[in-house]
Structure 1
Amino acid sequence: MESDISQAFQKELTCFICLSSLTDPVTISCGHSFCRACLHLSWEDIQRTYQCPMCREPSKKELRTNIVLKKLVSITRQISLMKDLSSEEHKCMTHKKTKRIFCAENRIFLCQLCSNSQEHRGHRHRPIEAAAESQMERLLKQMASLWEKIQENQENLEAENKMTTLWVDYLTLREQMIRSEYTKLHPLLCEEEVQHIESMRNEGQCVLEKLRTSEAMMVQKKKQLREMYQELMAMSQEPYVVLLQDLDDMFRRSESMQLSMPQAVKPQLNALPITGLTESYNQFQAHVFFENITVLHSKMNLFNIMRRFSFRPHHKDKPADSAGFYFSSWGSQSFISGKYYWELDLKDSWDWAVGVCKDSRLRNRNQMIESEDAFLLVCVKEGNHYSLLTTCPVSRHYIEKPLGQVGVLLDCEDGCLSFLNVTKSSLIYRYPPGTFNYPVRPCFSSGHT
């Protein structure tokens, strides 16, 4: 009878996935419990709907430790440890006593009399049960840390894969924009245009190769991290008497592997000049007066929204969303026809946005510049990194940040807007014709965090 009860009890403490005793048990929404690591690996490549491996019921990915089950598993492991220690091989040859003390320095089992001897008197001693529990917690912490790195590597791998596609599309878009500008400036194909396009293609190809190399390194890293995780997982399922062996080498390899993570490539093109571009824009020079300055300090401002869009979740330099002071201002008049060009010097600003917004949105002069119905070039800083974006729709641009003045050309006839790196006489971005067909008003915003 007792044997049947023991077997039934042990069955309830067995993981359905690995068929071993539960380790760091978690219970999901349907009520079934599994090893945390087993569930991590089982759901690793699932993107959307998670199911219970036992009953196939849909489940959320949130995993919570089952404290009761964890305690019961610990008790059964300690009972098993006591049985192992009661064998003859675990009795002290000198004193004929059971070895119940663990020496942390020599990593050996001792009886009480041996632990008090001159040889071991200065060493750190603990009851074997407590030492085993401590080693298990250390192992689980190492597994949790490693799993975070596995997730980080996977996110970076997906981002790098997406970046490769975005980069190819961006090069195509930029080539079309450059050709369009040269066509307006020099109707006949000129040698400078050919050299500009060729240089951009070569630079773009070098970046593309770096992206693909980085992606391959992340794939290899994913394999290594997973193998290390499985090694730790296998050790966590061993009896307590095995866990008390020297695992320092395993922990060192795990920690070293987590330190040497592949770094994501930050693609960027040089701002190549276009001869005559600044002169062409200057013929539409307009005196734009800005007024109605509004001071903002909300965390939900344009710059923080763009920051979250631009930078990855695990960016090392990422601070909390800033609630620093931001200044927004609008032009004193709106435009519905003609061409107008103006320049703004924003080199001392951490974050800035320049462009135009729909005039009807500014009836309330205290309204914050938002991305909807606002056609903006936005620069945001994250740590030591900058990112350039445009709104409507939000798109990231992989061109170097302008140092000094930014030029804005508003073409109401074509319903489009262009941004110029004045120092380099280089085109940053040009909205396609027909982007808007309503009155717009110049605007800018800047801030210091």
Structure 2
Amino acid sequence: MAFAVSLAKLQAEARCPICLDYLRDPITIECGHNFCHSCIHQRWEDLQDIFPCPVCLHHCSDRNFKRNIQLCHMTDIVKQLPTPRRKRKRQEEKPLCKKHNEVLALFCEKDLELLCPQCGVSSDHQAHRLMSIEEAAAGQRRKLKSFIEPLRQQAEDAETGYENEASKPFEVRREMENWKRELHYECKELKYSLETGQGTINACLFMEEKDVEEKLTENRRQMSNHMSMLNNLLSEIAEKYLQTDLDLLTNIENIHNRYEHIETPAVFSYELKKESCTLPPHYFGLHKMISTFQVDLTLDPETAHACLIVSRDRKRVMFNTMTRNYLHNPQAFSSYPGVFSYEGFDAGRHFWHVEIRGTGEWSLGVCKESFLRNCLMSPSLSNGCWQDQLFTTICGTCLTGQVMQIGVFLDYELGEISFYNLNNRSYLYRFTDTFTEKLMPCFSIGPSSKSLTICILRDKG
């Protein structure tokens, strides 16, 4: 094995770096490198003053060639040695410059291009940094390695984006179904007024749904194509990284260009337009009230009774028969299963939308901020709470599976708190009083409730 390696090195030393054939009439130039006399003469034929070495680019001062007689005899001896078939084949397959038909032995760092020695001394690359194949391949291999992790991250982000896009049609359908359900309630209450408009509105909703779904489908297609492109480029770079030096540097510019010009496709962002039916005059006041004065409330877990569970998004509360263990908070309800919102109001007009699901007793309204939450009395008008209590004043407890939507409107200066049934857009009743301190929206679930959930909604008008 060692003999074969030594033989290969000896044969390589006996070859001309320009023509890659065995040296013919070898000469030695100023820097010490050896060439065929005809090869170096042809290389420097049109040059004046400066004569760069085709191997190391050393600037020789003149054309004084020194014939190397000893190397000539040694080359004759090497020619008689057998050349392994595999070695001969590899030499024959070395790529050549299409312009000069010489071996590509240099690499231009700026243009990312393989060059032959003659290309390297041309005006096109005169000011560029040129390096050997081995050095260039090592540098480019490091760059390719640095591309892999960012590209893999982009591919993962693209896949996440694709999955998000894939779920949006279901969200669209769900929102559309919610709006259709509201439309059904309104049409049932006002059948005569809506007979002519319901079909048109459903058609508009259907067309909009289809239009959005088509655009979302296009989003998914673009994200899928983008993801495939990233994965293909990632695979190509990973494969390129393992190739031989010459193969790695061949067409490396293409990979650089594709990596540097990666663009995430713009996706269609949608905003559904809710169609509304033609309503009697008194309905316009409620719609305007919702769109003008609606606030987005969040529940305050610090005020929640120990038997109430507040969701992570602080939009839902439900009763828990197993009392949770926690440090006593003086701000929390201790004797009454209630919870306040973070937001309170000491001026202006405010509307909020609440949904009640399940079976049980509930109440909601507003309380004075100074209401004693650790006293044994329940909230009432006498201690500064104005509440809509389903189990006492409206229609009994919720039926199993029933969904009720209640709107609460506070006019602080006018001293009014009004309640609306948003299932059919009807007015329920109101409290009137004089408000002198900050009021807090409050929510309560009775201890006899089963799977009852109060959820704060954001009505879209």
TM-score under structure 2 normalisation? 0.42
